[in-house]
Amino acid sequence: MCVFCKIVNGEIPNNTVHENDDFLAFHDLYPKAPIHVLVIPKKHIENFQSVDPDTMAAMTPFIQETAKILGVDETGYRLVTNNGKDGGQEIFHLHFHLLGGGKLRWDHSHEDPHKAL
């Protein structure tokens, strides 16, 4: 069972921000911004590439509510999903990173395969 399924089951503790029957939002264990929350579906879906449209449609208002609870709905935030190996996905259970709490830098750095080591 994956780490996020264990969080959903209560086997691993989490710092919950928002929850309903289908979705859970909780603070990232290793925050990369002043506010760094992960939003997941409770059912196991590998990543964005395999999510169904109904889940995405239902997830939208849940994420918007989460942003309101965090107080960043007016000031702004970034919503990111890492998809697959090159996208930097480490946990293969769909999650959106909700980042905010300050002006975020925009950095699309990547590993250059042609760069000499």
| Residues that are catalytic | 95
> From the CB of 30, what's the least distance to ligand AMP, in Å?
4
d(CA 57, CA 55): 5
Amino acid at 75: T
d(CA 8, CA 43): 9
Question: E strands, 1-117, where?
Answer: 16-19, 23-27, 35-41, 77-80, 96-100
Strand partners, 78: 99
> From the CB of 116, what's the least distance to ligand AMP, in Å?
27
Q: Which stretches of the chain bind ligand AMP, using CB under 6 A? A: 3, 12, 14, 28-30, 38, 82, 88-91
> From the CB of 91, what's the least distance to ligand AMP, in Å?
4
Pick the closer one to ligand AMP by CB: 84 or 102: 84
Contacts of 92 (CB under 8 A, 6+ apart): 2, 46, 47
